[in-house]
Amino acid sequence: MKHPDRAFSFKEIHYEDELVDAMFNHKWPLCYSFYHNRLLFLSDGESEDFPEYAVVTIDKTEGRFGVQGREVGRIQPTGMQQKDGPEILQRMFEGNYTGSTLVRVVAEPKWHHRCELCGLEGE
Pairing of strands 101-109, 7-12: parallel
How confident is the model over 60-96, as pLDDT tens digits? 999 889 999 999 999 999 989 999 999 999 999 988 8
CA torsion sign, 97 to 66 to 59 to 29? negative
Neighbours of 55 (CB within 10 A): 24
pLDDT the model gives residue 95 = 87
User: Measuring CA to CA, which residue among 45, 55, 56 is closest to residue 79?
Assistant: 45
Contact predicate 41/12, CB 8 Å: no
Pairing of strands 53-57, 60-62: unpaired
